[in-house]
Amino acid sequence: MTAANRPQLTRSPWTENDEKAVAIARALAADAVQKVGNGHPGTAMSLAPVAYTLFQRFLRHDPTQPEWLGRDRFVLSCGHSSLTLYIQLFLSGYGLSLDDLKAFRTAGSLTPAHPEYGHTKGVEITTGPLGSGIASAVGMAMAARYEKGLFDPKSETSLFDHTIWVIASDGDLQEGLSAEASSLAGTQALGNLVVIYDDNRISIEGDTHVSFTEDVSARYRAYGWNVLEVAALADGNVDRDGLEAAMVKAEATTDAPTLIRLKTVIAWPAPKARGTSKSHGSALGADEVAATKIALGLNPDETFIAPDELVAHTRKVIERGQAERLAWESEFASWKSTHPTEAALLERLQNKKLPADWASAIPTFGSDKEIATRAASGKVINAIAEVLPEFWGGSADLGESNNTTIEEGHSFLPASSAMKDADPYGRIIHFGIREHAMGAVLNGIALHGLTKAFGGTFLVFSDYMRGAVRLAALMDIPSTFVWTHDSVGVGEDGPTHQPVEHVSSLRAIPNLAVIRPADANETAIAWREVITRAKPVGLILSRQNLPVVDRTTHASAEGVAKGAYILKDSDGTPDVIIIATGSEVQYALGAQTILAAQGIKARVVSAPCIEWFNETSDSYKESVLPTSVKARVSVEAGIALGWREFVGDAGVSVSLEHYGASAAAGVLFKEYGFTAENVASAAQQSIAKVRV
């Protein structure tokens, strides 16, 4: 059984109660914004019949079990219209109350301005930055297909077939992010993805034709999407019957994603505000709200109208959802009995467990030869892939450079693809040159659950994907970003490709762990921690070969788990502490030798992850960086921003405060002061400051 012949929902005839529920939803949107005095009423009003039809008649969900594995996913990409979602969560019985709607956009409420993942039951993703929702929905659809390959590759059941539903706005489709992701979705032939495009031609500046006149339908057909168009009714209302017919066709389309282009009139049926930009982001005003209620057949003197009998009608969706879930669970029990291996894997993933001995597969590296941390990372990725089938990923067209290819993993491409090695359940994701979409897709995969995905590009291009990285950190989801070519060590490619400010900039993102390992073994331990911690993280790796530290004479790379550790200590209390990351650790060790010859005792601290170090106990921090030692040096081939916290008033930072140049890496490191001699000189300067 496949998604195409999955048991279809039985839809009751549309009734007068459904019409009343839609009217109530429109009025609730107007009231909620009017009460708080700010927000976006217009889209929530015009989309009320769309969202109601979806939640009541199409979406497979059980409001009493929001985490049900077999559920469909809903993404409100136009997150500013959060009331579109909140009102349906209220009417469907997810736990939101009328008081929650009255508390819209107020402190501590369950109805914040934009939907927030983990804050409100039924919210699958944090949205607000336009384009991000639809892009992450592409990731959810990809994850659903990959999971299908893990548990039901022969398509013997419909248990793992579900639909990712999206409502997107003009603004979403104007963002380049959505174009990147939509192009990828077409290439991937994601037949489990349906986007309802709210084509109302209004944004903050008015008619979108001041900037957005392309033929969106033609664009999406060119991407390889199935495109269905539904015009508005003569009076401007949504053609709900036409929409439902289109949604039925979309569900039946399994060989391509579907875009339903739905014509709407924003703020319908408000007499004066409909079709205006004012209704997009402002309260309608008391008189207009009252007039709207009269047009809807409601009492203009009542606010937050939600009659008990009508709410009882809308919450019958719980009965339908529970019946659907129970049928699914019955089939699931049968599947488990006949597929014990797959069932055991699923149980492990649902419980967020790892195999007991999985980490033993991670390689260790000898100090007999140099290796770039990107190359070491590639070896670790393949070792992890051997023991964790849920592990998959790729890069933004830089697989060989980022070392993000899983050997024999096959390309994640639809069966219809003519590309070599195509496999609808392949482990290698070809994101194309779409860094921002890659980040958002990774977020969608993480949100969908069960699997662990990664994506790589050059560090300098992390700028292109910063919005997605920030959202991963905001949602606290385990998106793994692999950024290679981490400094002027890129060499001859020159300043356009040599990151300078990027590491510090990424460290400024709260809740993102930024890891810059010093050698191959630090890289291996870093990957182990990435997998076990399951948090948002960026791995920053070198292009050039680096020495592998001899761990028989230096501290174990296990110190990476604490973020920073004493790599090589002095005899007795140090005169100076040298803190370094990544490729510059070798120069710190060289400086220690030079200083020892001068009778100066230096401690070398490798600090691959400041965020992890900050999570350790005060006593551990003190043991690594004793406050009594004031002479300190930081060494990192980027701007020094952030290092003063660790080196203090007497500290010296060996850093790079300007752009690079097109020259060999060795030439640039020497010219810019990243040498053992210069680090030793910086240590002497810091000691001199302390003694003054």
Active-site residue set: 435
Separation of alpha carbons 41 and 33, rounded Å = 6
The span from the first CA to the last CA of the chain, in angstroms, equals: 79
Sheet holding 513-515, edge to edge: 422-423, 411-412, 428-430, 391-395, 452-458, 480-484, 537-540, 513-515
User: The dihedral of CA 171, 175, 179, 181: what is its sign?
Assistant: negative
Helix and strand numbers (H, E) in the chain are 27, 20
The residues facing 454 across adjacent strands are 393, 480
Token pair of 180 as six digits = 């990147």
Distances (CA, A) of 248 to 142, 227, 401: 21, 13, 44
Q: What is the DSSP letter of 415?
A: T
Cα gap 601→595, rounded to integer Å? 7
What is the spatial distance between Cα 587 and Cα 592, in angstroms, rounded to a whole number? Answer: 9
How far is residue 681's CA from residue 578's CA, in Å, rounded to a whole number? 12
Whether the CA torsion 294, 297, 299, 303 is positive or negative: it is negative
Q: How far is CA 220 from CA 227, 229, 431, 434, in A?
A: 7, 12, 18, 17
DSSP labels for 251-310?
A: HH--SS-EEEEEE--TTTT-TTTTT-SHHHHS---HHHHHHHHHHTTS-TT--S---HHH
Q: Answer yes or no: are the C-beta atoms of 442 and 455 closer than 8 Å.
A: yes
Integer Cα distance of 638 and 634 in angstroms:
11
At 403, is the secondary structure helix, strand, or coil?
coil
Q: What SS3 class is residue 413?
A: coil
What whole-number distance in Å separates Cα of residue 596 and Cα of residue 573?
13
Please list the residues that pair with 604 across neighbouring strands: 568, 578
**Separation of CA 641 from chain center:** 26
CA distance 516 to 563: 10
Cβ distance 156 to 150 under 8 Å?
Answer: no
Separation in Å, CA 135 to CA 62, 78, 232: 25, 12, 26
Handedness of CA 130, 132, 134, 135 (dihedral sign): positive
Cα three-residue angle 605-611-614, rounded to 5 degrees: 75
CA distances from 664 to 1, 396, 543 (A): 58, 25, 12
Tokens representing residue 112 in the block: 């914040």
Taking CA 367 as the corner, what is the angle to CA 362 and CA 371, rounded to the nearest 5 degrees?
A: 70
**Rounded CA separation 631/679 (Å):** 13
- In a 10 Å sphere around its CB, with 0-12 CB exposed, 13-18 middle and 19+ buried, how is residue 15 labelled? exposed
